[in-house]
Chain A
Amino acid sequence: MSQANDPTEPSSKPDRRGFLVSGAVATAGVAGAAYWKRSSRLRDSVFIARNQKYDGELVRTIHDGLIACEFDPQSVAGKRVLLKPNLVEPSRLAPHMTTHPAMIQAAAEVFRRWNAEVTVGEGPGHVRDTEQALLDSGVMDALADAKLSFADLNYQEIRAVENTGRASKLKQFYFPRAVIEADLVVSMPKMKTHHWMGMTGAMKNLYGVIPGCKYGWPKNVLHFNGIPQTVFDINSSVGRTITIVDGIDCMEGDGPILGTRKPMGLILLGTNLAAVDATMARIMDILPERIPYLALAADKLGPIDEPQITQRGESWRPLVDPFLLLDRDHLRSLRAAKTHFVT
């Protein structure tokens, strides 16, 4: 009985391009392993912009930042780009919880100028009615304004893809069609604290590519297999990714849902999610190596040590502004100082 309902059990052969190429045998394992190898070999760049506003020049910032990180616009010309915002549990009472619609529109504009075919996709982790999540987050209007298509990652058709990370016992993941077909997945998280993990950023945001109809709301299968391990595994298996972080209106305290607003005015971006998350942690006054999934990712998915990360745009040091963390045993070791904890 458990086998029939176990997302670890394949119902079909793992097939990355199954939606595109009949009989294809290329698997995510191939793409994932190649990416892993490349990432572990190279230094990576992280770009930071300050004094950013949602009604400001976001398109220019994102464009310039990606170029500064040596992102090649030609690599997405004519290709599919999937923008993955964080709409975990949108609420009109807490717009600082979710990726701002203006960020999504701006990122879409940048990739469209580079002749990419842009889709926005999300599988909200706590909300089964995705249409309601789009309404409550303001993203529905943004999609209509920008004439952007939306892929409901909780309900779209799925295929099994090999888990190339194998930090957890899961043998494969079911990914939605839009994720499998994407040539580039752009993780667009909110800069937030997280009451279990300390922080949530580019890597954790990819929980949202996992389909709720197969894993539940919340995606409890992932929790039962370890949050750090499954964050690592999903990032290992998902293919080519970059990240653009909404660090303008952020969340501290009891994130990722109930925390308080913390204005930072930042945009962070880069072609390596672990490197960007590590830099974001430093700005929040969190030790990246103490974040369990970043510790797993270090030198496998990307660099998290400062000397291995090339800084573009603003330097992170003057931007450090400690984010309040919950005063709980599992979070106290995340920063060197004993300050900026709240109950």
Chain B
Amino acid sequence: MEVTTARWIQQQTKRLDAQPIVGYVRGDQPSAESVAFAAYAACAYDRADAAAVACRRLLDAQLEDGSVAVWLDEKGPFWPTSLACIAWRLFEKQWPEVAKGWCQDAYQRGLAFLLRCGGEKIARNEIIGHDSELVGWPWVLGTHSWLEPTAMALLAMRHCGYVDHPRVQEATALLLDRQLPDGGANYGNTFILGQTLRPHVLPSAMCVVALHRIKPSPQRLSNTVGYLQTELNRPMASTSLAWTIHALVSSGWDSPSGFELEFDWPLRSAIKRLQTTDENPHRQNQLMLAARFRESPLLDLPPFDYVQTKDGENE
């Protein structure tokens, strides 16, 4: 049966209301990232009860040091802390009376934790192409900074009002440094042993979203947007598509005509693909969120100035 996006969203909203606490795989234990995305989707569709349940569950899982682990109620790694902070902040913005007294404390403790953490520096050498001394965030403490956890942390800092923190500038520098010459980025390597690596959709899109409304807009980011526009013409999986839609909407933010790309076909394709495999609420929530386009709360951010001029990016 032909999928219509509007009807699918109607069904998904009911599902989200009924079960906001989900994991990566249906039936598995809840994961922080999945619950955070359920909270974003609930905010996006004005589902106060579902958003509250998800945000409360993240709060219950917050450890004494402010971190939130991948699997709720277990120890580390901490990287979803950023995503939990965004969830609490979005909830606070939308329902300030309900959030009073607990959301702000939760995201401030989460941000304090993140600001105590950083990736391990590696001395620069000719083998590795990126600036291995820039400090962003690692997936696991004690290892190097990588692109996606740094993008998540940057988004969290921007959403939670930490935009003036020096680490926002360093995280921005890191994301730009890891863009590939012809556009796009991968997990965080540019050149290895003299060869340029290939870009991947998801981390490329996450960079663009994390740098949403950056002023001035760096050329490297434009190349990455161009890469994503091309990739949209081929089959794209749910998570990659959700972030790509956010990225491309972001790229057309200040354009008088807005974004001009057609998202309905890729959205319907991704929805159809999900319907032929096992149900996956985590991916469904990500697509729901993306289907809000410009109204996605993930993009509800003011512009920010990038002032660092390392290797002449903005000079």
Q: Residues on A close to B: CB < 8 A? A: 1-7, 9, 11-12, 89, 91-93, 126-129, 131-132, 134-135, 144, 152, 155-158, 195, 212-218, 220-221, 223-224, 254, 257-258, 326, 328, 343
Contact = CB atoms under 8 A, between A and B. Distances in A.
Given A129-B239, A155-B31, A214-B77, A220 B197 contact: no
B282 to A, nearest CB: 9
Nearest to B119: A220
Contacts of B149: 216
Contacts of A217: 139, 146, 148, 187
Contacts of A157: 23, 25, 28-29, 71
Given A5-B78, A11-B75, A156-B25, A91 B192 contact: no
Contacts of A7: 76-77, 140
B276 to A, nearest CB: 7
B78 A4 contact: yes
B138 A4 contact: no
Given A9-B75, A258-B197, A1 B141 contact: yes
Which 10 A-B residue pairings sit nearest by Cβ, starting from the closest? A216-B139, A5-B76, A131-B237, A155-B24, A132-B237, A220-B143, A5-B141, A11-B75, A4-B76, A5-B77
A126 B25 contact: no
B143 to A, nearest CB: 4
Contacts of A215: 139-140
A91 B198 contact: yes
Nearest to A211: B70
Contacts of A257: 197-198
Given A1-B65, A221-B140, A129 B197 contact: no
A3 B63 CA distance: 13
A126 B148 CA distance: 11
Contact of A132 (B29, B143, B240, B276): B240
A43 B48 CA distance: 65
Contact of B138 (A93, A144, A214, A216): A216
Interface of B: 23-25, 28-29, 31, 63, 65, 67, 69-71, 74-78, 116-117, 120, 138-144, 146, 148-149, 186-187, 192-195, 197-198, 200-203, 234-240, 273, 276, 283
A131 B264 CA distance: 20
Contacts of B197: 257-258
A131 B141 contact: no
Contacts of A12: 74
Given A195-B193, A258-B195, A129 B143 contact: no
A135 B31 contact: no
Contacts of B234: 92
A216 B143 contact: yes
Secondary structure class of chain B's binding surface, majority of residues: loop
A144 B276 contact: yes
Nearest to A221: B140
| Max chain B C-beta neighbours (<10 A), residue from A195, A213, A215, A328 | A213
A272 B277 CA distance: 34
A11 to B, nearest CB: 5
Contacts of B200: 89, 126-127, 132
A131 B283 contact: yes
B198 A93 contact: yes
A155 B198 contact: no
A4 B193 contact: no
B126 to A, nearest CB: 11
Contacts of B140: 5-7, 214-216, 220-221
Contacts of A91: 198
Contacts of A213: 24, 31, 70-71, 77
15 contacts: A3-B75, A4-B75, A5-B77, A5-B140, A5-B142, A6-B76, A89-B200, A126-B200, A128-B239, A131-B273, A131-B283, A132-B240, A135-B236, A195-B192, A217-B146
A131 B277 CA distance: 11
Contact of A129 (B31, B75, B240): B240
Contacts of A218: 146, 187
Nearest to A158: B71
| Max chain A C-beta neighbours (<10 A), residue from B67, B142, B202 | B142
A114 B41 CA distance: 46
A221 B116 CA distance: 20
B113 to A, nearest CB: 8
Contacts of A135: 235-237
Given A126-B186, A128-B187, A135-B237, A220 B198 contact: no
Contact of A216 (B117, B146, B192): B146
Given A89-B186, A129-B237, A258-B198, 4 more contacts: A4-B65, A12-B74, A131-B238, A135-B236
B146 A220 contact: yes
Contacts of A223: 143
Contacts of B63: 4
Nearest to B236: A132
Nearest to B32: A213
A155 B148 CA distance: 16
Nearest to B193: A195
Nearest to B144: A220
A155 B237 contact: no
A93 B238 CA distance: 21
Contacts of B193: 195, 254, 326, 328
Contacts of B236: 132, 135
A328 B193 CA distance: 9
Contact of B116 (A1, A6, A126, A129): A1
